[in-house]
Amino acid sequence: MDDILAEFIAETRETLEALSGELVAWENDPADRERLDAMFRFVHTVKGSCGFLNLDRLERLSHAAEDALAQVRDGARPADRALVSAVLAIVDRIAELAEALDTGEAVHGSDDHLIAAVRADGGAIDPPAETQAHAQRGAARSIRISLDLLDRMMAGVSDLVLARNDLSRRLQDADLGIAVEGAFERLSLCVADMRDTITRTRMQRIEKLFASIPRLVRDLSAELGKPVDLGVEGGDVELDREMIELIRDPLTHIIRNALDHGIEAPEERARAGKAAQGRLRVTARQSGNQIIIEVSDDGRGIDPERLVARAVADGIISSDRAERLPHEARLALVFEPGLSTASTITALSGRGVGMDVVRANIERIGGVVDIASVMGRGVTLSLRMPLTLSIIPALVIGTGGHQFAIPRAAIREIVRENNAALAIERLAGTVIARLREERIPVVSLEAMLGVEPLPQSMPRSLVILNPAGGALYALSVAELHDHQELVIRPACPTIMAAGVYAGMTLPDTGLPMLLLDPAGIADMAGIAAAAGVDAVAAPAVVEEDGVSTLLFRDLDGAERGVRLSVIERIEDVAGDQIRFGAGRLRLAVEGRIIPLVGFDSLTDRAMVNVLRLNDGAVELAYAIEEVIDIVRLPNHVVQARNQGIVAGVALFEGRQIELLDPHWLFADAVGSIPAGGERPLCLFGDRDDAWTREVLRPLVEAAGYRVAFDGEASPDEAHIVIAGENSGAGATVPEGRLLRLRSDIAARDADPFSVYRYDRAGLMTALQAGRARREG
């Protein structure tokens, strides 16, 4: 509020200075309509600001002057000299009160005579003697300068920083003595202080942008008859003053859309089982060199199918392309010009700009607009914008002949891979760094950026990152260079849309360099979703609210999914690496031949996208068309009628998703013959075995059993108990109910009550026998 008040005082002073000559001219010619309008706009603006700032005295004065001037504009009252004098007296008093707000001193005396005079009720208009002293006081404590001049100042200090960096590099190569180093250090401090000062002149707390939102929502809520619970957070985040003005209209339009088309009417919300009061959240946060503003509601959401149908009907996309569009691309159609799914046109629908203009305006300043929607649960729109021209401390890293920068504020520490305190583990295809008993997921910079790594003799480095609002993770990099203060500018929209960059810079070398966005990399790698969850060290654990699943488009065009925990990696392979041999398709990779599964013969394909699946003992490849997303699917699955590559179907966002059967895939890969079976309590002896949880458990559940692990149920309750060959389970298991799984296909004679782990027919027979024995 202090910042807003200071802005009000500065604007009032500025307007009074501009009107000073107009006031005299208006007094000489009261019939001048242009000057009358200027006076009216001034008192109207003051009145509006006072209402928000709770300045009752100023509001009364400006309101009285506004009423009088409105009567003159309407022709209901002549602009005689008495009225002009009364209005000028009020303007003088407004100036006094504005200066008093700045100095903290009080303006004594009553305003009633001024208000009475302007209302033509009589009364003197000369201010009392005790207030006249204030008219002589109040030298301006702030000035306004053009943004062009600020830009030139910022560009100058940016060049100064680059020159300082260049000089620092040259001084490191020359031994010029302590005196020169001391002088350079003083110069660096002066440059840093100048840089911070000039940067702050352009920055403003975003609460000025947010200040009008409560009133906007209140008025729209009343107009639409939709009660709304508004939450606004992040007003202390600072953003360039000019950018605040540039995003004001897009943000207003997004909020209007949320209330007009997103949040339902109370009766509709009641039918959907929602609270009568809708929920709207507007938040802001800083992430690296970006500001992220999110607007989310709990309304009806956006129907992507209706968007697609409308886009096809309008000729924006073809029907063939529409069928292949992934979920995100379908939602992105909302940004197409003129495309809307609104069933009715309201008074609000035609106001402001369209969503295509919203995106264009944000991209014009180097930003990106993201949209996420869940039918029946609401929409979240994210505006990711740069801080504009800024200078930040950063670490320069390199890989494959390229250099990148990372904001130093996001770096917790840096360790070498050969550090004795560091251990690198691989679990279910996820690389984990164990550092001082802390487990941290590792992301390869080359894999994330699609850069081919160069051979190197030195150990790689792990840059431990903890981005604002994100999860802790380690970025594996090949080269570490030096720390620099870099001038950051917005990158083009195409680069920013990649989601892993926060801007670009031109270091003292003169070669352009991209600034990485630590939070964006975490999101892209799927790490942010696991923030605060220790499941990163045991990703195979199935949680109560669903199973982490990779959605992909198969070669036959169908949308399918597979448990994320059995995926080791996703990669492109050359078509000539695939051959049909020994009765099946096989892939030659890394000096090995592994089975290849898919719904296509793969003819005439130069490159094939494959999922590398691994259960710890068997590896295979599954050919796909493209990856769609990583989601959490519900535990409820409608089982397939016949055993095979597809285990069943799950419902996700209204779409039926076929789920692959991991056990069938791995069993088929080693030559086991699938057999049928049906399905109640199976007790597993080892809950820490990932293969049991992720590969065997779905098969047992598909056979009609509910599953429990050792300690969760008694062996007496179980129809069958399944344990590994080296497990100690079995001492308290009733006779005939224990089944051990062995890894050696030929070792049956060693234990007649054991089954080879990939003998699907044997497993199904044992499960059927266990159920029949219990029911009998």
pLDDT in tens, 30-89: 777 887 887 788 777 777 777 667 778 888 888 888 888 888 888 888 877 788 778 878
**Token pair in block for residue 190:** 């002066």
**If you classify domain 2-135 with CATH, what class do you get?**
mainly alpha
Residue 3 has what pLDDT?
A: 66
Each residue of 352-384: pLDDT tens digit? 346 877 877 776 666 778 888 888 889 999 888
Residues 297/279, Cβ–Cβ less than 8 Å: yes
Three-state SS letters, 240-260: EHHHHHHHHHHHHHHHHHHHH
**pLDDT of 601 above 70:** no
Task: Please choose, from the candidates 436, 528, 525, the residue with its C-alpha nearest in 3D space to the C-alpha of residue 476.
Answer: 525
**pLDDT of 124 above 50:** no
Each residue of 494-544: pLDDT tens digit? 777 777 887 777 665 656 788 888 877 887 777 744 333 333 333 333 333
Question: Matching CATH topology for 2-135 and 540-662?
Answer: no
Higher pLDDT, 173 or 614: 614
Fold of 540-662: OB fold (Dihydrolipoamide Acetyltransferase, E2P) (2.40.50)
**Token pair in block for residue 245:** 């003005």
Task: Please choose, from the candidates 481, 477, 480, 525, the residue with its C-alpha nearest in 3D space to the C-alpha of residue 500.
Answer: 525
Between CA 289 and CA 390 the distance in angstroms is: 8
Query: What is the band of 141 on the pLDDT scale with cuts at 50, 70, 90?
Result: low
Residue 528 has what pLDDT?
A: 45
Between CA 723 and CA 648 the distance in angstroms is: 26
* Interior angle at CA 38, CA 34 and CA 42, nearest 5: 170
Query: What is the band of 295 on the pLDDT scale with cuts at 50, 70, 90?
Result: very high
Between CA 212 and CA 603 the distance in angstroms is: 60
Residue 532 has what pLDDT?
A: 33
* Interior angle at CA 684, CA 681 and CA 687, nearest 5: 130
Which residues make Cβ contacts (< 8 Å) with residue 294, sequence separation at least 6? 281, 282, 283, 284, 380, 381, 382, 383
Helices (H), 569-689: 662-669
Residue 348 has what pLDDT?
A: 45
Residue 493 has what pLDDT?
A: 67
Residue 440 has what pLDDT?
A: 86
pTM higher than 0.85, yes or no? Answer: no
Residue 640 has what pLDDT?
A: 80
Residue 619 CB: number of other CB atoms within 10 A?
17
**Token pair in block for residue 388:** 């504009």
Task: Please choose, from the candidates 491, 513, 487, 486, the residue with its C-alpha nearest in 3D space to the C-alpha of residue 502.
Answer: 491
465: helix, coil or strand? strand
**Token pair in block for residue 468:** 């604002």
**pLDDT of 472 above 70:** yes
Domain range 390-529, CATH architecture: Beta Barrel (2.40)
483: helix, coil or strand? strand
**Token pair in block for residue 435:** 């550092």
Domain 682-775 has CATH 3.30.1300: no
Residue 283 has what pLDDT?
A: 92
**CA end-to-end distance (rounded Å), the chain:** 77
Query: What is the band of 298 on the pLDDT scale with cuts at 50, 70, 90?
Result: very high
3-state DSSP percent of the chain in helix, strand and coil, to 5:
40, 25, 35
774: helix, coil or strand? helix
**pLDDT of 469 above 60:** no
**pLDDT of 137 above 50:** no
Query: What is the band of 346 on the pLDDT scale with cuts at 50, 70, 90?
Result: very low
For residue 21, the 8-state DSSP code is H
Percentage of residues in the chain having pLDDT higher than 70: 79
E-only strand ranges, 343-389: 368-374, 378-386
Between CA 595 and CA 618 the distance in angstroms is: 10
Q: What is the mean pLDDT of residues 668-681?
A: 55
**Token pair in block for residue 333:** 């159609």
Query: What is the band of 1 on the pLDDT scale with cuts at 50, 70, 90?
Result: low
Residue 399 has what pLDDT?
A: 83
Q: CB-based burial of residue 393 (10 Å sphere; 0-12 exposed, 13-18 middle, 19+ buried)? A: middle
Between CA 253 and CA 397 the distance in angstroms is: 40
Task: Please choose, from the candidates 222, 209, 386, 365, the residue with its C-alpha nearest in 3D space to the C-alpha of residue 282.
Answer: 209
Give the CA-trace dihedral at 348, 353, 357, 363, to 10 degrees: -90
687: helix, coil or strand? coil
Query: What is the band of 340 on the pLDDT scale with cuts at 50, 70, 90?
Result: low
Residue 57 has what pLDDT?
A: 84
Residue 351 has what pLDDT?
A: 34
Task: Please choose, from the candidates 648, 578, 560, 657, the residue with its C-alpha nearest in 3D space to the C-alpha of residue 620.
Answer: 578
For residue 297, the 8-state DSSP code is E
Higher pLDDT, 678 or 586: 586
Residue 774 has what pLDDT?
A: 57
Beta pairing partners, 465 = 411, 473
Query: What is the band of 673 on the pLDDT scale with cuts at 50, 70, 90?
Result: very low
**Token pair in block for residue 163:** 């020159």
For residue 546, the 8-state DSSP code is B
Between CA 61 and CA 5 the distance in angstroms is: 18
**pLDDT of 698 above 50:** yes
Cross-sheet strand order for the sheet of 278-287: 228-233, 278-287, 290-297, 378-386, 368-374
Residue 597 CB: number of other CB atoms within 10 A?
20
Residue 353 has what pLDDT?
A: 44
Q: Where are the domains of the chain?
A: 2-135, 147-205, 207-302+341-384, 390-529, 540-662, 682-775
Q: What is the mean pLDDT of residues 406-422?
A: 81
Q: Report how many helices (DSSP H) and strands (DSSP E) the chain contains, helices first.
A: 23, 35
Tokens 């047992």 belong to residue: 700
Beta pairing partners, 485 = 393
Q: What is the mean pLDDT of residues 8-24?
A: 67
**pLDDT of 282 above 90:** yes
440: helix, coil or strand? strand
Q: What is the mean pLDDT of residues 737-756?
A: 74
Residue 529 has what pLDDT?
A: 40
Between CA 273 and CA 293 the distance in angstroms is: 29
Task: Please choose, from the candidates 739, 697, 702, 687, the residue with its C-alpha nearest in 3D space to the C-alpha of residue 718.
Answer: 739
**pLDDT of 135 above 50:** no
Each residue of 606-625: pLDDT tens digit? 788 888 888 777 888 998 88
Residue 294 has what pLDDT?
A: 92
Residues 632/619, Cβ–Cβ less than 8 Å: no
Helices (H), 552-674: 662-669
Least confident of 442-456, 553-567, 749-763: 749-763
Domain range 207-302+341-384, CATH architecture: 2-Layer Sandwich (3.30)
Percentage of residues in the chain having pLDDT higher than 90: 5
Radius of gyration of the chain (CA): 35
- Mean pLDDT, the chain, integer: 76
Q: What is the mean pLDDT of residues 12-30?
A: 66
**pLDDT of 749 above 70:** no
Between CA 101 and CA 104 the distance in angstroms is: 5
584: helix, coil or strand? strand
Task: Please choose, from the candidates 263, 269, 254, 266, the residue with its C-alpha nearest in 3D space to the C-alpha of residue 213.
Answer: 254
Tokens 């369209």 belong to residue: 354
Least confident of 152-166, 263-277, 434-448, 560-574: 152-166
Between CA 192 and CA 186 the distance in angstroms is: 10
Least confident of 108-117, 298-307, 578-587: 578-587
Residues 402/451, Cβ–Cβ less than 8 Å: yes
Q: What is the mean pLDDT of residues 628-654?
A: 81
